Amino acid sequence: MLPGTQLSRAYDKDVAGRADVYHFLNKTKDFVIDATTVELDEDYPLFQSIYRVTATDEDFANGDRLKYTIETQLSGPKRGANCFGVDPVSGVVSVNGEDSLDFDAGFHVFQLALRATDTKGLFCQGTLIIRVRNINDEKPQFEPFPLNLINVTEKMPVGEIIARVKATDRDEDSSITYSFKTQQEVFRLDPVTGIITLLKPLNLDKPNNSKVYPLEVEARDNGNHSSTYVFTVSVENVDEPISCDSSFSTGAGVSVSVPENTPASAPIYMILSRDPDLEQEVEFLILNSSVNATAYFNLDSHNGVISKTMEPLLDYETNPKHFQLVIAVRSREDLSVESCTGTITINIQNVNDESPILTYIPDAPINIYENLPVGTELVKLTATDRDIGDSVHYEFIDTPKEFSINEDSEVVTVAYPLDYEDVSTPKSWVLYFRAYDNERMHSTTGTLTVILQDVNDNRPQCSQDIYIIELPENIPVETLLVSLACTDKDGTVPNNNITYHLITDTFSNETFTLTNNELKIGPSHLDFDNAVFAGMHFKYTLFVRVSDEGNPVLSTMITVIVRVSRINELNPTGTTLAFTFSILENSPVDTLVGEITFTDADWPFNDVKYAIVGGNLGTPPKFYIEPDTGMIKLLDSLDREMQSQYKIAVRVTDLDNDALPDPIRQRSATAQVTVHVLNVNDEPPVCTPPHLETRIYSAMKTPFIQLNCSDRDSPQEHLSYSIVGGNTNNRFTLWRRDFGPPSLAATQNFQGDVFQGILAPETFQLLIEVTDELGGDTVSQLSTTTAVIIHVFPWSTTQPTPSTMTATTTITTSVLTKISYYWSPDNWIPAVLTLTGALFLTCLYAVAWCLFKDVPACWRLFPHCHKHQQKHPSITAGESGQVTRHGNLSSGDSNPNMKPSLLPGNHQLVVPDLFKKHLPFYIIVCFLG
């Protein structure tokens, strides 16, 4: 999604037209509201103003200055461009030239985060969306051919596609048309696709046709931008192939038969061929031949005639019977021109003039083994008769009973069972045989020697074929399991030599050892505690192969089954012997405190139980442990203020790890568990005493009483204090130094009461709320309310008598809430009414001053009245009466009848008593004239 894309729109008629009404509730740099958008062409000039950032600062008159910066610069759909800059003084945004503002490179829209910062680091930030308009400013670019060359052959048909020129334009929505710069008669160019096709044949046999055609192509876009490309079409000559006799050049070629007495130089075969191309001669060449074929036959390279050489002679009995010649026919002028190739097979015919000859008789004696089946072939004699049509036959001159020879197949076979251990059977024979031809015209004799050899035909025999043994898993290594006893009936070496070989699987490979005929434990000991061994039903199945050393080797298999019984060997183990867990003090019963995990390597694995054996004191205990899982859970409620840590001892005992369970031999381990109780805010603040009562003068300015509040689960600095009731006209405030409890102090509102003339004491009952977890989770905060009763006496010559009596004032810590329904005017109405009332009273006072300023009864109300001065000592801070912590007034004033001055300073008006009595009357006279 490109920067500046509108995702949503909100409208409220009540806030329409107001700036900065809409804003995000959370901080984000990826989305903006009501960003400014401008558009410009991609060739917009460098450093020319695009947009000017406007920002104001009320501190500008005091010398403050703004600095403009671009915080982020996002581009799309291609990212990473830095094309714009902002003047830090004027705030003018322009193209900076660092990266090209190229629409065709993928930079279509930019989102700039602009910031104005003053010298103190205060700033405001906005977003500017710049959309780039595409213009046609690129030329088409051709994709060149390799070496700017296209190769075609003269045989290319008219209308065939020769090539396709292609040009690309980086401008979007730009179309390209193609054309030849000069008119062509041989080629055609499609103006839309750029495909070049052939209009006329390119036959090079015509003298007017050229072998090279230079072409110049122009590509033009719809913005009238063009480029040209020059390349060459090269025409290659194609030569026609040579034609040969089809019987020679196809299939297996030509087969020719000649008698072995063919004379020298006699022609045997002539190859027929021609070259369609004029003025070209044909050449014949032997490419390949069978062994010595070129020694017997010649090939004329001009006319293709094959003839017999002078030497050697064609002897059917001694020379090959067949010869093959692979011959190629090609043009002499152009050896690269395609040629035709064929095969000539020459078969030699035999002449019958020879006698049978024995070609194979074994020179060494033939060794055979006993127990060969009847009909087993011993040897095949070989004899040949060089005469055509003659065959060879065989027979024994003295026929033995143990062997026979086939008359026609030349095979000597066993005719009687042979047993080396039978004393009546000879151990060797000399056999005489005869080879003869048809009608016994010619024959040849020969001899064969046969020696009988012993065969290993008796397997070893053992006293026992299977052994079943049961052992405990802790049996020592090198313990002897069994000694094997086996014999072999064969009486000759090596047939009666016995060897023992232990066959084991991967699991038992290192557990058992066979030395000669003794099977022992080792080098590894037996291990009952293994999951794989459990799948084997806790038994080893071993095989011992007892073999002799004969050929072939004969063997007997012995099975040994070893059953293993389990022994409780190992103690339970854990990752650690000390565990530490934490739990909130307000956790409900059955809450998981933690889990201790022990393992037992005895089979069955991890069959352990858990029990708390120490430290879990109390009735009921605070914790319990699930015996099967090791999960420690809460059994009774906790109070961190009473106990913040518990130490528990857990015993872990294995179970059923012996074939016969024995509780005395059960193994166990002990784990120490520490449980930390985490604090939860469950104690409200407490104030001592729960309420306070004191007396002060109305002129009191300093703190006059301190609260004493604390919280069992919160430090003092986490307690907050506030006056929630009884503080009429905000006459009192809380004064706190550092993090200690605050003190109550009077605000300046009491001084106003002095001017008005307080004639009687006044009592205030303040409700002060104390809340813990200052700055913490408001949901978990707890609070309490304390009451402070303050008796305020007017500043007069008669001071209140200090009293230490316990106040009998009824104290309440309730907060009353009253809901009042009233009409709330607009803000301007009270301001207008107040201003009107003030102007009216000012005018009324001015009229009264003009009328009554000389009347003695009104001198007190106007500045021109006569005054009498009287010396009176000033009242110091000590004389104003200090308030103790228990609310009693100090007795530091030496003159209890002294009255405080009603005005600041050491002077006051002296008003006669008679005037005081008739003061209301004079006031009425002053206003009524």
* pLDDT over 60 (residue 868): no
Nearest Cα residue to 272 out of 238, 290, 249: 249
d(CA 78, CA 2): 9
Largest Cα–Cα distance of the chain, in whole Å?
A: 194
Question: Per this entry, what is the length of the chain?
Answer: 929
Residue 208 pLDDT class (50, 70, 90 cuts): confident
Q: What percent of the chain has pLDDT over 90?
A: 23
Question: What is the pLDDT, as a whole number, of residue 715?
Answer: 83
Q: Are 682 and 712 in contact (CB under 8 A)?
A: no
846: Cα within 13 Å, side-chain hemisphere:
6
Q: Token digits for 725?
A: 């009731």
List beta partners, residue 234. Answer: 151, 212
Ranges 265-274, 719-728, 768-777, 908-917: which has the least confidence: 908-917
Phi, psi of 146 (to 5 degrees): -60, 125
Q: Read off the pLDDT of residues 508-531 as tens digits, 9 standing for 90 and up.
A: 888 999 999 999 998 988 888 888
DSSP string spanning 278-296? Answer: TT--EEEEEEEESTTHHHH
Q: Token digits for 885?
A: 């912590």
DSSP 326: E
Residue 626 pLDDT class (50, 70, 90 cuts): very high
Q: Could you give the C-alpha distances from 669 to 504, 573, 612, 666, in angstroms and in order? A: 38, 7, 12, 10
Question: What is the pLDDT, as a whole number, of residue 902?
Answer: 30
Question: What is the pLDDT, as a whole number, of residue 213?
Answer: 92
* pLDDT over 90 (residue 361): no
Nearest Cα residue to 216 out of 148, 303, 134: 148
Question: What is the pLDDT, as a whole number, of residue 275?
Answer: 66
Q: Alpha-carbon Rg of the chain, whole angstroms?
A: 63
Q: Alpha carbon 12 to chain centroid distance? A: 45
- Domains in the chain (CATH in brackets) are 35-133 (2.60.40.60), 141-236 (2.60.40.60), 253-349 (2.60.40.60), 357-453 (2.60.40.60), 461-565 (2.60.40.60), 573-678 (2.60.40.60), 686-793 (2.60.40.60)
Phi, psi of 677 (to 5 degrees): -90, 120
146: Cα within 13 Å, side-chain hemisphere:
1
Nearest Cα residue to 267 out of 322, 305, 324, 315: 305
Higher pLDDT, 883 or 528: 528
Question: What is the pLDDT, as a whole number, of residue 20?
Answer: 59
Three-class SS state of 466: strand
Phi, psi of 576 (to 5 degrees): -155, 160
Host H or E run for residue 180: strand 176-180
Nearest Cα residue to 337 out of 238, 234, 235, 211: 238
The beta-strand segments (E) located in 460-600 are: 461-462, 466-472, 480-483, 486-487, 498-503, 512-515, 518-521, 539-548, 555-565, 573-574, 578-584, 592-595, 598-599
Question: What is the pLDDT, as a whole number, of residue 861?
Answer: 63
Mean pLDDT of 298-312: 87
Beta carbons within 10 angstroms of residue 834's beta carbon:
10
d(CA 287, CA 295): 15
Q: Read off the pLDDT of residues 55-71 as tens digits, 9 standing for 90 and up.
A: 888 877 676 788 999 98
* pLDDT over 70 (residue 351): no
> How would you write 918-929 as a 3-class SS string?
CHHHHHHHHHHC
Mean pLDDT of 882-895: 34
Higher pLDDT, 774 or 143: 143
d(CA 324, CA 912): 166
Higher pLDDT, 74 or 135: 74
d(CA 929, CA 927): 6
Residue 178 pLDDT class (50, 70, 90 cuts): very high
Phi, psi of 839 (to 5 degrees): -65, -40
* pLDDT over 50 (residue 631): yes
Mean pLDDT of 664-676: 86
d(CA 793, CA 761): 4
Residue 877 pLDDT class (50, 70, 90 cuts): very low
Question: What is the pLDDT, as a whole number, of residue 337?
Answer: 64
Q: Are 88 and 65 in contact (CB under 8 A)?
A: no
Q: Read off the pLDDT of residues 391-405 as tens digits, 9 standing for 90 and up.
A: 889 989 887 888 999
* pLDDT over 50 (residue 833): yes
Q: Read off the pLDDT of residues 696-706 as tens digits, 9 standing for 90 and up.
A: 887 777 888 88
Residue 34 pLDDT class (50, 70, 90 cuts): low
Cα(first)–Cα(last) distance of the chain, in Å? Answer: 85
Q: Could you give the C-alpha distances from 246 to 161, 343, 363, 706, in angstroms and in order? A: 36, 11, 53, 132
In terms of average pLDDT, the best of 262-276, 591-605, 763-777 is 591-605
Question: What is the pLDDT, as a whole number, of residue 14?
Answer: 62
In terms of average pLDDT, the best of 40-49, 497-506, 730-739 is 497-506
Mean pLDDT of 419-428: 83
Nearest Cα residue to 74 out of 126, 111, 23, 116: 111
Q: Which residues of 41-74 are buried (b: 16+ CB within 10 A; e: fewer)?
A: ebebeeeeebbebebebeeeeeeeebebbbeebb
Mean pLDDT of 612-627: 86
Question: What is the pLDDT, as a whole number, of residue 134?
Answer: 80
Three-class SS state of 12: coil
Q: Which residues of 810-832 are buried (b: 16+ CB within 10 A; e: fewer)?
A: eeeeeeeeeeeeeeeeeeeeeee
Question: What is the pLDDT, as a whole number, of residue 430?
Answer: 92
Q: Token digits for 732?
A: 């009192």
Three-class SS state of 133: strand
Q: Token digits for 784?
A: 């309490």
Residue 25 φ/ψ region, left for φ over 0, alpha for ψ in the -120 to 50 degree band, beta for the rest: alpha
Q: Is the dihedral of CA 778, 782, 787, 788 positive or negative?
A: negative
Higher pLDDT, 732 or 757: 732
Q: Are 453 and 367 in contact (CB under 8 A)?
A: yes
* pLDDT over 90 (residue 668): no
* pLDDT over 80 (residue 44): yes
d(CA 554, CA 551): 8
Question: What is the pLDDT, as a whole number, of residue 320?
Answer: 84
Nearest Cα residue to 790 out of 735, 728, 740: 728
Residue 662 pLDDT class (50, 70, 90 cuts): low
Q: Is the dihedral of CA 200, 206, 209, 210 positive or negative?
A: positive
Ranges 28-37, 517-526, 881-890, 914-923: which has the least confidence: 881-890
Phi, psi of 559 (to 5 degrees): -105, 130
Q: Token digits for 551?
A: 């050929």
Q: Are 112 and 126 in contact (CB under 8 A)?
A: no
User: What does pLDDT average to over the chain?
Assistant: 79
| Angle of CA points 190, 194, 195, to nearest 5° | 70
Host H or E run for residue 914: helix 913-917
Mean pLDDT of 128-148: 86
Q: Read off the pLDDT of residues 782-813 as tens digits, 9 standing for 90 and up.
A: 889 999 998 988 765 444 444 434 444 444 44
d(CA 274, CA 280): 9
DSSP string spanning 436-448? Answer: E-GGGSSEEEEEE
d(CA 35, CA 113): 10
Residue 412 pLDDT class (50, 70, 90 cuts): very high
236: Cα within 13 Å, side-chain hemisphere:
7
d(CA 709, CA 706): 10
Residue 279 pLDDT class (50, 70, 90 cuts): low
Host H or E run for residue 752: helix 749-756
Q: Are 428 and 453 in contact (CB under 8 A)?
A: no
Q: Which residues of 894-908 are buried (b: 16+ CB within 10 A; e: fewer)?
A: eeeebebbeeeeeeb
**Side chain identity at residue 456, one-letter code:** N
Residue 4 pLDDT class (50, 70, 90 cuts): low
Residue 929 pLDDT class (50, 70, 90 cuts): very low
Q: What percent of the chain has pLDDT over 70?
A: 80
